Amino acid sequence: MISVTEGRKIIRDHTLPLRPVTIDTDRASGYVLAEDVRAGCDIPPFDQSAMDGYAILYTGWKTGEALQVDGEIPAGQAGTYELPSGKAARIFTGAPMPEGADTVVMQEKTEREGNRLFIKDPELERGNNVRQKGTEIRKSELALAKGTVLTPAGIGFLSGVGITEIKVFPRPSVAVIVTGNELQAPGNPLQQGQIYESNSFMLKAALREMGITDISVDSAGDNLDELTTVLGEYIESHDVVLLTGGVSVGDYDFVVEAASGCGITQRFHKLRQRPGKPLYFGTKGQKIVFGLPGNPSSVLTCFYEYVWMALQKLSGQEKQLAALNVPLGNEISKKNALTQFLKGVYTDGEVTPLSGQESFRMGSFAHANCLIRLGEEAKDYTKGEKVEIHLLPVYG
């Protein structure tokens, strides 16, 4: 067995970002940029009014004197307009500034008598309420750098710069293979010796939470030939394969042998941790395979601690769950010299382990917002002692 730290390093070292693809900018929210994006023009492309009001030449106006209103400039007006000396032009937000003007007076700070305009703004300064050409960004300047996660604001920024297509790292396609003769689909009556299958539903939900939608789900009985055939099909057609169950050393655990039969290189099998000690990780070219335990709590713990990180890297990000060091709400002990992950609730600056930590129990996980990581060596932890917690994605 290897340590949790070693396991994570092996996963990082053998996981590479997927080949970039080009997509429409308006579909790219949540994706990661695969190359720098530069502006194709100045933004704003011209000096622009930031307010509804009046455009003037600041040095052509004297306090108390009226200016003659000459013309009107709405937003979107084409062509150029030259403002005569000593006059003002009615202008609207977003409209191009006329030649010969450098300042906009807010309409609320003016009085108008016919075509005579009186400015009532004692704090007016040259250049007020004007968006200068290129103040957002200049042509050829870096808009967003490679590795940037595209948010709605980022999409708006790039669209405002006129970018319609961008190169991003795609999200991986994932196959989930559930193993076990004892499993029954929810909604069907249980026969003697059966339990309801929940791992595939749980993993699909976790994958969709990450924005991954290309998901296939299949099952295989506790049979080496059947499992090898199913795994072989999905490792060819998907970027990632997640198997649940069949990864330990029992007479009906065939994942490791089936993976070898499919030409998958084992990178590790078994970690010094609880739950999820028999975790398997392998690769075939740039494709990756995780053999997860069968018990649901172990499956989800391993997903968040290992699979989640690998999926992020495939999608262009070096990212793990958000980690904090916080005090324990009560004392706890563990029996073995293994890294242990406990389901916990982090609130009011401290973390409390939940009851029901067994690997088959999901009720406690349904209430958890974090995983508590207890290191290999220490066995006893006192109330108030600081421990490392990993916030689950929806809370991180």
79 and 35 inside one domain: no
From CA 73, how far away is CA 69, in angstroms rounded?
12
Query: Residues 137-149: pLDDT tens digits?
Result: 999 999 999 999 9
Q: What is the CATH number of the domain that holds 76?
A: 2.170.190.11
**Do 233 and 328 fall within a single domain?**
no
SS3 304: helix
Residues 36, 160, single domain; the answer is yes
Q: What are phi and psi of 267, to 5 degrees?
A: -100, -35
Please check the confidence at residue 53 and state whether its pLDDT lies above 80.
Answer: yes
Closest CA to 376 of 292, 248, 302, 274: 274
Which residue matches tokens 């974090």? 370
Length of the chain: 396
Q: Which residues pair with 117 in a beta bridge?
A: 67, 112
Asked if residue 350 is part of any domain, the answer here is yes
Query: pLDDT digits over 193-205, tens only?
Result: 888 899 999 999 9
204, 127: one domain: no
Q: Please check whether residue 333 lies inside any domain of the structure.
A: yes
Each residue of 255-277: pLDDT tens digit? 999 999 999 999 999 999 999 99
Predicted local distance difference test score (pLDDT) of residue 380 = 92
pLDDT > 80? residue 223: yes
Task: Compute the average pLDDT of residues 369-386.
Answer: 94
Q: What range does the domain containing 226 cover?
A: 4-19+171-314
**pLDDT above 90 covers what percent of the chain?**
84
Asked, for residue 274, whether it belongs to a domain, the answer is yes
Q: What gap in Å lies between CA 218 and CA 259, rounded to an integer?
A: 16
d(CA 336, CA 379): 7
If you average pLDDT over every residue of the chain, what do you get? 94
Q: What is the tens place of the pLDDT at every residue in 231-246?
A: 999 999 999 999 999 8
Q: What value does the mean pLDDT take over residues 29-57?
A: 96
Q: Looking at residues 314-322, what average pLDDT do you find? A: 94
Do 327 and 384 touch, CB atoms closer than 8 A? yes
Q: pLDDT tens for residues 292-310?
A: 999 999 999 999 999 999 9
> Do 333 and 243 share a domain, yes or no?
no
Instruction: Verify that 146 and 286 share a domain, yes or no.
Output: no
Residue where a domain stops, chosen among 144, 169, 194: 169
Q: How far apart are CA 362 and CA 375, in angstroms?
A: 23
Name every residue whose Cβ is closer than 8 Å to that of residue 139 and which is 6 or more positions away in sequence: 39, 40, 41, 42
pTM, full prediction: 0.88
Q: Is the per-residue pLDDT at 184 higher than 90? A: no
pLDDT at 396: 62
pLDDT band at 211; cut points 50, 70, 90: very high
**Residues 254 and 306 both lie in one domain:** yes
Task: Please indicate, yes or no, if residue 108 is contained in any of the structural domains.
Answer: yes
Q: Are residues 209 and 334 in the same domain?
A: no
Last residue of one domain, picked from the residues 295, 314, 333: 314
Q: State yes or no: pLDDT of 91 exceeds 90.
A: yes
Report the range of poorest mean pLDDT among 106-110, 182-186, 265-269. 182-186
What is the CATH number for 306?
3.40.980.10
| Among candidate residues 291, 272, 302, 313, the one with its CA nearest the CA of residue 12 | 313
User: Nearest-CA neighbor of 35 among 21, 24, 46?
Assistant: 21
Residue ending a domain, choose from 69, 101, 131:
131
Q: Is residue 226 part of a domain?
A: yes
My answer on whether 14 and 57 are in the same domain is no
- CA-nearest of 102, 123, 118 to 49 is 102
- Percent of the chain clearing pLDDT 70 (strictly above): 100
The candidate with the shortest Cα–Cα distance to 4, out of 390, 388, 295, 376, is: 376
**Domain co-membership, 165 together with 177:** no
Give the pLDDT band of residue 60 (cuts 50, 70, 90).
Answer: confident
| Per-residue confidence band for 180, with pLDDT thresholds at 50, 70 and 90 | confident
Domain assignment present for 396: no
User: Does position 61 have pLDDT exceeding 70, yes or no?
Assistant: yes
What's the average model confidence in pLDDT over 353-364? 90
216-230 CB burial, b ≥16 within 10 A, e <16: eeebbebbeeebbeb
Gap between the Cα atoms of 245 and 221, Å rounded? 10
Report d(CA 391, CA 346) in Å as an integer: 8
Number of domains composing the chain: 4
Average pLDDT over residues 41-63: 94
Give domain status of residue 184, yes or no: yes
The span from the CA of 166 to the CA of 27, in Å, is: 10
Q: What is the CATH number of the domain that holds 26?
A: 3.90.105.10
In angstroms, the Cα distances linking 356 to 278, 309, 349 are 21, 26, 22
Domain at 334, CATH number: 2.40.340.10
> Is 181 within a domain?
yes
Asked if residue 187 and residue 290 are part of one domain, the reply reads yes
199 shares its domain with 297: yes
pLDDT at residue 220, rounded to an integer: 93
